[in-house]
Amino acid sequence: MAADKGKPFTFSLPVSVVVLAIAYIYVSTVFVFIDRWLGLFSSPGIMNATVFTALAAVCVVTYRAAITTDPGRVPATYMPDVEDAESPIHEIKRKGGDLRYCQKCSHYKPPRAHHCRVCKRCVLRMDHHCIWINNCVGHANYKVFFNFVLYAVISCIYSLVLLVGSLAYDGIQDEEKIGKSSFRTVYVVSGLLLVPLSIALCVLFGWHICLVLHNKTTIEYHEGVRALWLAEKGGSIYKHPYDLGPYENLTSVLGPNILSWLWPSSNHIGSGLRYSTIYDLAKGSTSK
């Protein structure tokens, strides 16, 4: 069963802040930084304005998709089949060893699914609840969230480079023309916005690259730290069951076609009720 494609829109202050920030960065970059440094109607100005506009448009498209795409719901009829030979792994409760069951939703939880206290339901392959998209990041919208962060990083760094270039050019012009009007307030506000935002987004993007390469969610990373500690304490070796190797991990999250990695398509994701594991690989190798 595929996840619902849409999610009802509700007002969110953090989302409004992000939209205003995108609008401000776009306007200041195109109509101040590019215009004052290169000239908006010069060849370099037109080229940079076109490229930045395209980046901003992709940011808006991927951001909207991350907000409106339902991250994935557990079907009401879902029931784990412990006798299914095709599913060699069944996640169990840390206490008691029973199959994972959500008391709040009154149904069993598939592997990698978790209950979100904000959304008040279980989410397939839940990574985290993000206030900046007013939505959970999960099975159906993880890739579009990843794409949005990627394009946001590129856009912020690009805007920051144009800001520095424009500021340097403006400084030269101010020295040559005393009394020339300046956009100091725009530069200061943009700098205070872009520098911390670029750093935060780079850290976030780097974090999710690490997660994707190991096929983990943020929740699984924190659970894995404890599992690793317990395994080492017991003298055994812990390995994340969904870590299939860097390339397989990338294709399972971003899609089998490399050309589609940078576009928020999600035709490859499947139902979200079962994921390939290292046990599948081992079974495949023994069958050969």
pLDDT of residue 172: 64
What's the rounded Cα separation, in Å, for the pair 265 and 69?
12
Q: Which of 77-81, 87-91, 141-145, 194-198 has the lowest mean pLDDT?
A: 87-91
Phi-psi region of 83 (alpha: psi -120 to 50; beta: other; left: phi over 0): alpha
Residues 201 and 152: beta-carbon distance below 8 Å: yes
**Tens of pLDDT, residues 9-47:** 678 899 999 999 999 999 999 999 999 999 999 999 999
**What's the pLDDT tens digit per position in 112-121?**
999 999 999 9
pLDDT in tens, 253-284: 999 988 889 888 877 888 898 888 887 765 55
For residue 259, what pLDDT is reported?
A: 85
Do 155 and 59 form a contact (C-beta atoms < 8 A)?
yes
For residue 287, pLDDT over 50 is answered with no
Q: What pTM does this model have? A: 0.87
Mean pLDDT to the nearest integer, 234-253:
84
- Count Cβ atoms below 10 Å from residue 253 Cβ, excluding itself: 19
The full DSSP string for the chain is: -PPPS-------HHHHHHHHHHHHHHHHIIIIIIHHHT-TTSHHHHHHHHHHHHHHHHHHHHHHHHHHS---B--TT----TT-TT-----B-TTT-PBPEETTTTEEPPTT-EEETTTTEEETT--EEETTTTEEE-TTTHHHHHHHHHHHHHHHHHHHHHHHHHHHHHHHHHHHSTT----HHHHHHHHHHHHHHHHHHHHHHHHHHHHHHTT--HHHHHHHHHHHHHHHHTT-----TT---HHHHHHHHH-S-GGGTTTT--TT---SS----HHHHHHHHHH-
Least confident of 2-6, 48-52, 56-60: 2-6
Structural tokens at position 113: 């699914």
Catalytic, 130? Answer: yes
**79 or 177, which is more confident:** 79
Bridge partner residues of 129 (DSSP): 136
| Amino acid letter for position 166 | S
Cβ atoms of 157 and 55 closer than 8 Å: no
Please determine, for residue 180, whether its predicted confidence score (pLDDT) is greater than 60. no
pLDDT band at 207 (very low <50, low <70, confident <90, very high): very high
pLDDT exceeds cutoff 60 at 85? no
Q: Which of 59, 130, 136, 156 is catalytic?
A: 130
> What ranges do the domains of the chain cover?
13-175+183-286
Query: Residue 35: is it exposed, middle or buried by C-beta count within 10 angstroms (0-12/13-18/19+)?
Result: middle
From the number of C-beta atoms within 10 Å of its C-beta (0-12, 13-18, 19+), residue 40 rates as middle
Task: Report how far Cα 45 is from the mean position of its chain's Cα atoms.
Answer: 31
Return the closest-CA partner of residue 119 out of 128, 132, 109, 110: 128
Greatest Cα pair distance, the chain, in angstroms, is 82
For residue 63, the model assigns a pLDDT of 97
What pLDDT is recorded for position 83? 59
